[in-house]
Structure 1
Amino acid sequence: MTAVAVLTRRFLVEYVRNPANLLVLVLIPVVFVLVAAEPMADAAKLLGGTGQAVETATTGWAAAFLAALAMYFQTREARSADRRLVLAGLPTRALVVARMSTGLLIAVLVSAAALATLFLRTEVDDPLRVAAGTMMFAVIYVGIGAAVGSLIRDQVNGTVVILLVWILDVFFGPALTSPDRVEITRWMPTHFVTLWMVDLPSGHGGNLGDLGIALVWVGGALLASGLLLARATRGGRRHHGSRRPGWVGQVAKSFRMGLRQYRRNPALWILLVTVPFIFIWLSKLITEEQYSVMRVLDDGREIDLRFWLPDTHAGTMAPIAVASLATVAGLFIALNNRDGDRRLVQSGMHRSALLVGRFGEVAVAVLVTSAASLAITAMVFPAKQWAGFIGGTLLLGAVYALLGMCLGFLLGRVTGVLIAFVVPFLDLGITQSPMLRLEPPGPAVLLPGYGPYRVLIDTGLTDTFDEIGGVVIGSLWVIGLTTVVVLLFVTRTGRARRTARKAKHLLLQEAAAGSTAAP
């Protein structure tokens, strides 16, 4: 027990010591509980859910999101160190208990942050029930984060898997949609937790009831993740490295190595196809069959038209899927190569060749992500101008992939992933959405998705192309973000080049001094 206490304290100190974790501990509850609660409640009414349930459930969503990613990176980053501890004689049981204890303490911390935000925002009828429900959300997602960290080595894949589970759980759960609309949603991790938390009895909880099944999910998540963590501490693994060839050859080499990483990662290709499929297809399935009025630009005039909601909802989900996946891809291309690129430049590789290769990797990620999303969208959404809709999707993917690269150069893994998800969600899912308001608010023009989204609405819903301005705004974002990426890359690798030059100069001085002193 002493070993467990010491390890738990050290793991928790490691979490708290990172100021970025404390920043997102405030940021995520503010985004979901304060900013997004009301628009999501409006969306829930369109989809057959209940507005009040959404405003309460946002605390659980925020706590779950924070807990899952914190636990994922805790287990993923420390996997090698955990194995060495076990090889050095630490009992596997003690290590697993310490990791899960840390996860439970993080669950308490993130739940407290989410609840504090809710209590500041509004009065709660049954605070104890809401607090217990929020804690169950967090504990279930601690288990999910630990399980994914134990099974999936690649951080892009792990992050996307967690986001996929969370998105399915939230957007197709009983708060945003009708609890009885699609039976498969009853198998979502927090389906029964949500129903019990908002005091909305399901009627399909069986003998255990909603609370009983919710507690089964809590215990099952902890048990399964603990077993997977114990399994992951056994055995050892490998490491890879890189080399260099002259300018064109270096560009080709950099690009080829990036593609090789994609090719060696079949799970990534599966995710790039399944995430848009589930996200877009399910959005059509759960949408109420009714018409909705949207404002569009048609033949140079703004007019309000009625559209069949199941079709248009699926079409508006496609940009969110593309933006989220492209941002995560750009983030991890920059993050995973950040230190390696510095060393490659230090060893003599051309900065420009290396950067062009990285842009090539991002372009491939955008093309694959966009192609997967468009293929699914074509099955459920009859776009009016397919050429323009494809172009707008590629433009949106490029903007968000470059934004992801900027985040990768500036932030760490946990903070970068959180921001990479929050920005597309707030931009495209809340601010730009034509389902929530006839036209976006004035400040929306400053967001990265404004221009490309105008193009997608125009080409998806009208017969004539009128959004030249949207293309211009999107192109300016691409140029601006490319410039920022270049400056960040040059700044980071420039230090490495100067260090290498200084070391070489010192070696030459030592060699000269040695030859002078020789008889």
Structure 2
Amino acid sequence: MSGTQTRPSATGDVLRLLGRFMADYVRNPVNLLVLVVVPGVFVIVAAGSIAEAARLLGGSGGPAVEAATAGWAAGFLAGIAMYYQVNAARAADRRLVLAGLAPWRLVAARLGTGLVLAAVATVVALLALVLRSGIEAPMRVVVGTVMFAVIYLAIGALVGALVRSPVNGTVLILFVWIIDVFFGPAVGSPDRLTTRWLPTHFVTLWMVDTPSRHGGRLGDLGWALVWLGTALIFSVAVITATAGRARRSSRRDRSVSSWNRFVVGLRMGLRDWRRNPVLWVLLVAVPLVFIVLAKATTAPEFGMFTLVEGGRTVTAVFWLPEVHAGTMTPIAIASLSALAGLFLGLDARRGDRRLVGAGFEAAVLLASRLAVLAVAVAVVTVSSLAVTAAVFEARQWGLYAAGNLLLALTYGLVGVCLGPIFGRVGGVFVAFLVPFVDLGIGQSPMLRPQPPRWAQPLPGYGPVRVVLDGGLTVGFDTTTPVLVALAWLIALTVMAGWLLRRAPVPAVHSALGT
């Protein structure tokens, strides 16, 4: 009939929305780059070191752990990607529903987008594993990697629905992922009662073919499938609830006093952080769990560290349970500082543009932003050191604390530089990768007595040598590493200042032109 109009099919609506959502994701080339970089670095570069760390911490080590890195990489990518899918699009999704789109179609499109991203992350992670060492048990590794990605889709969706701030959401997902991976059955002991509640506990055991003997009648695969089904159901429920409600944002314009613009800029930056109580909880909880669990899960054996004592290079033997927590503290501090700097640089750009347009001097504005960063990394350092003091006895606390603070400032500035270059999603991935590769792999004294040559030019080399000098020796023998660290600090400060000053200019000229 020529006079009738055909109603768009449900499948067509879902596919069109899915295509739009995917187009929006791939519009940023950094997202595609990250899909390759994260599995490439984590699986190809770091798998061997992680397997060695697993052996030291009481896990199985070897090829089984290397295979599990594909699942870990896919899970991390899927969780962060789904977080931004849910968090950033909630207002747009709400408008689509109010405009008459059936909620279930929107939910299907969002979940479908997440599954497509999870599939892409899985394929890339598996290809990286093939390039590194091949796959000995293809069925277990492929299915296990898919399970990792889907379970972390649910985690990303839940955090995206509950946590509005990207700082909090990213740190929370990273916190869950670190606990799940580095204290799970592949890296640690598979028989710990306290880790059986981790989301990928049974998936990991089945994937690496290590029977748990505590899976009951369902077995490890059965419980893994239960987690998988629960994750899918939970994802649907979370996306449905998010699409059906929206929060009104309340913004208050407050006058800025003119007598001291630096103080105003500093106060404005600190006020945003003060209004975020979840962030302060995370700043305490992440070091607490990460450092204390590092102490509790270290295998009882000795390790050799290369240090400088009295101007001479010596190899010292330490009881690992006594020193492991102290060597893990820099990783926690650097990761949190990098994320804090990343979002500080990104969130300040819009307000900075208005302030510059209103006549706020760029130099004063830059100084206030860097002062806010200094306060943030100081809080990160103090909270981490307070936890470390309960489980580690440094030989020189002043030098040990100074090295950690230097590391925090360095990686806070790294985060500030990453934000304008990579944006939110890409910046989160890179802000995680850089300290992981630099500190967790390159500088770690747990993996090798001396950092390899490729790790010595990295920003963490100088501060970590200072941390080890203060934590494990009785003298100061790190003059050269301190100078290298200060050079990095100066260079990063200049680059961060250039990026922060550069961001407001286009918006101001555009506003004047209109």
Cross-structure match for 1:389? 400
Structure 1 segment 202-281 matched on structure 2, within 5 A: 202-233=212-243, 234-240=245-251, 245=256, 249-281=260-292
Cross-structure match for 2:89? 78
* In structure 2, C-alpha distance between the alignment counterparts of 1:343 and 1:65, rounded to whole Å: 36
* In structure 1, C-alpha distance between the alignment counterparts of 2:443 and 2:246, rounded to whole Å: 49
* In structure 2, C-alpha distance between the alignment counterparts of 1:118 and 1:24, rounded to whole Å: 16
Structure 1 segment 446-457 matched on structure 2, within 5 A: 446-457=457-468
SS of alignment partner, residue 249 of structure 2: coil
Cross-structure match for 1:18? 28
Cross-structure match for 1:40? 50
Cross-structure match for 1:183? 193
* In structure 1, C-alpha distance between the alignment counterparts of 2:364 and 2:253, rounded to whole Å: 15
Contact residue 346 and residue 499 of structure 1 kept, 8 A: no
* In structure 2, C-alpha distance between the alignment counterparts of 1:410 and 1:340, rounded to whole Å: 18
Task: Choose which of 104, 108, 119 in structure 1 pairs with 2:119.
Answer: 108
Q: Which amino acid aligns with 2:500?
A: F
Cross-structure match for 2:181? 170
Cross-structure match for 2:416? 405
Q: Which deviates more from structure 2 when the two are superposed, residues 485-494 or residues 443-452?
A: 485-494
Instruction: State the number of aligned residues.
Output: 502
Cross-structure match for 2:208? 198
SS of alignment partner, residue 196 of structure 2: helix
Give percent identity, aligned residues only. 54
Within the alignment, does 1:138 sit opposite 2:164 as a pair?
no
* In structure 2, C-alpha distance between the alignment counterparts of 1:287 and 1:391, rounded to whole Å: 26
* In structure 1, C-alpha distance between the alignment counterparts of 2:398 and 2:275, rounded to whole Å: 32
* In structure 2, C-alpha distance between the alignment counterparts of 1:429 and 1:154, rounded to whole Å: 27
SS of alignment partner, residue 212 of structure 1: helix
Deviation sequence 1:321-341 (CA, Å, 0-9, x none): 000000000000001122331
* In structure 1, C-alpha distance between the alignment counterparts of 2:357 and 2:382, rounded to whole Å: 37
User: For structure 1, which runs of at least 5 residues remain unmatched after alignment?
Assistant: 504-519
Structure 1 segment 425-440 matched on structure 2, within 5 A: 425-440=436-451
Contact residue 366 and residue 501 of structure 2 kept, 8 A: no
Cross-structure match for 1:359? 370
* In structure 1, C-alpha distance between the alignment counterparts of 2:179 and 2:210, rounded to whole Å: 20
SS of alignment partner, residue 304 of structure 2: strand
* In structure 2, C-alpha distance between the alignment counterparts of 1:488 and 1:140, rounded to whole Å: 37
* RMSD after superposition: 1.5
Within the alignment, does 1:7 sit opposite 2:23 as a pair?
no
Contact residue 351 and residue 493 of structure 1 kept, 8 A: no
The two structures have a TM-score, normalised by structure 1, of 0.94
**Displacement after TM superposition at 1:247 (Å):** 6.7
Q: Which deviates more from structure 2 when the two are superposed, residues 155-164 or residues 85-94?
A: 85-94
Q: Which amino acid aligns with 2:34?
A: V
Structure 1 segment 363-374 matched on structure 2, within 5 A: 363-374=374-385
Deviation sequence 1:22-69 (CA, Å, 0-9, x none): 101110111111100011111111111122221100100110111111
**Displacement after TM superposition at 1:228 (Å):** 2.2
Q: Which amino acid aligns with 2:201?
A: H
Contact residue 68 and residue 142 of structure 1 kept, 8 A: yes
Contact residue 91 and residue 246 of structure 2 kept, 8 A: no
SS of alignment partner, residue 378 of structure 1: helix
* In structure 1, C-alpha distance between the alignment counterparts of 2:411 and 2:467, rounded to whole Å: 15
* In structure 2, C-alpha distance between the alignment counterparts of 1:22 and 1:443, rounded to whole Å: 26
**Cα separation, partners in 2 of 1:17 and 1:183, compared to 1, 3 Å:** same
* In structure 2, C-alpha distance between the alignment counterparts of 1:188 and 1:4, rounded to whole Å: 33
Q: Which amino acid aligns with 1:14?
A: D
Deviation sequence 1:350-372 (CA, Å, 0-9, x none): 21222111111101110110011
User: For structure 2, which runs of at least 5 residues remain unmatched after alignment?
Assistant: 1-9
* In structure 2, C-alpha distance between the alignment counterparts of 1:332 and 1:359, rounded to whole Å: 13
The two structures have a TM-score, normalised by structure 2, of 0.95
Deviation sequence 1:400-422 (CA, Å, 0-9, x none): 00010001121211110000000
* In structure 2, C-alpha distance between the alignment counterparts of 1:348 and 1:79, rounded to whole Å: 35
* In structure 2, C-alpha distance between the alignment counterparts of 1:374 and 1:193, rounded to whole Å: 34
Deviation sequence 1:178-210 (CA, Å, 0-9, x none): 211x31111111111111111111111111111
* In structure 2, C-alpha distance between the alignment counterparts of 1:65 and 1:39, rounded to whole Å: 19
Contact residue 458 and residue 467 of structure 1 kept, 8 A: yes
* In structure 1, C-alpha distance between the alignment counterparts of 2:281 and 2:186, rounded to whole Å: 29
